Amino acid sequence: MIRLLLVTAIALTVSCNSAQNAASAKKMTAEDYASTITSEELKTHLYILADDKMQGRMTGENSNNEAAEFLRNYYMDQGIDSPIEKNNYYQPIPAEFFKGGTNGNPSQNVVAFIEGSEKPDEIIVLSAHYDHVGVKNGKIYNGADDDGSGTVTLMEMAQAFKIAKDNGNGPKRSILILHVTGEEIGLYGSKYYTENPLFPLENTVVNLNTDMIGRIGSEKEGNDNYIYLIGSDKLSQELHDLSEAVNKKYTNLELDYTYNDDNDPNRFYYRSDHYNFAKNNIPVIFYFNGTHEDYHQPGDTPDKIEYELMAKRAQLIFLTAWEIANREGRITADKLK
């Protein structure tokens, strides 16, 4: 009898705890999940990815493959699925696709996947390139900002979406995490993906591309509360308006559209991986901090990153993705109508 009462008491306790945990999960908000993206974790990841041991992550070289392995292992450790098959996070790209840019070596995109709970066939692509320019004249180009910052931001956003899903609050639409290779030699990784998509491009809702968000650009010295947005209104006014609303609600960064001007001589809209999605009429936003004295220089090292600012920018991107994933209607390229 005593044993029966004890078992009953334990069962009731477990049941109450489960109910409390479920209630707690329901109380968590998008902002709570965004807050799991921290400057400390971004810094930890970046000091690994942009270490001298990575030898600048040049596409096709062993250092680039080691960076890919670092990403794969992270997603496996986090229990975040691959969209390809279990434990296979690589989309291989044959050497000939790079037109000689890799000294005859193949490379790979690295992908991870959070399946949507209600509209799993509608895909939001979060992208960043994990390659850099390698070693030149004996000097290592670490690429901490370009684009280590975007790479580790994707890692943290994936973790935040996974926490939400584990709590029963996962995104309604699916999230594809796409770490592309070959950006520095011609946007090859994103080109390969859009020509060989893992999911039909017509099912791709939007591409949010993160390329350099860890520093303060030379033209913005003294301003620690901004981010450049490029492309948000090129194909979809709906996307642009949503982006503005999310920022106003949560982060209040200065959204600077200087480089979004069609007459901008830098032509940044055409120079990062979002462009291969835009060419396919998929709405895009390119998040960018602007160039600085260490752009494509050996001085682009992780000790110079503004980690608190980077975390705030990363949270904005996550919250924008969250809103796109969970809103009732799908974002469309309404400017094509």
Domain boundaries, the chain: 30-336
φ/ψ region of 88 (left if φ > 0, alpha if ψ in -120 to 50, else beta) reads: beta
The whole-angstrom separation of Cα 283 and Cα 239 is 7
pLDDT of residue 27: 78
Contact 330, 122 (CB under 8 A): yes
CB atoms within 10 A of CB 296: 14
Q: Where are the beta strands (DSSP E) in 104-203?
A: 107-114, 119-129, 135-136, 139-140, 173-180
pLDDT band per the 50, 70, 90 thresholds, residue 26:
low
Q: Where are the beta strands (DSSP E) in the chain?
A: 90-93, 107-114, 119-129, 135-136, 139-140, 173-180, 204-210, 226-230, 254-256, 284-288
Q: Is the pLDDT of residue 117 over 80?
A: yes
> Which tokens hold the place of 226?
């901004």
Contact 26, 168 (CB under 8 A): yes
The whole-angstrom separation of Cα 223 and Cα 196 is 40
Determine whether 104 is exposed, middle or buried from the number of CB atoms within 10 Å of its CB (0-12, 13-18, 19+).
exposed
pLDDT digits (tens, 9 = 90+) for 76-109: 999 999 999 999 999 999 999 999 999 999 999 9
Q: Is the pLDDT of residue 19 over 70?
A: no
CATH topology of domain 30-336: Aminopeptidase (3.40.630)
The separation between CA 101 and the C-alpha centre of its own chain, rounded to angstroms, equals 25
pLDDT digits (tens, 9 = 90+) for 219-265: 999 999 999 999 999 999 999 999 999 999 999 999 999 999 999 99
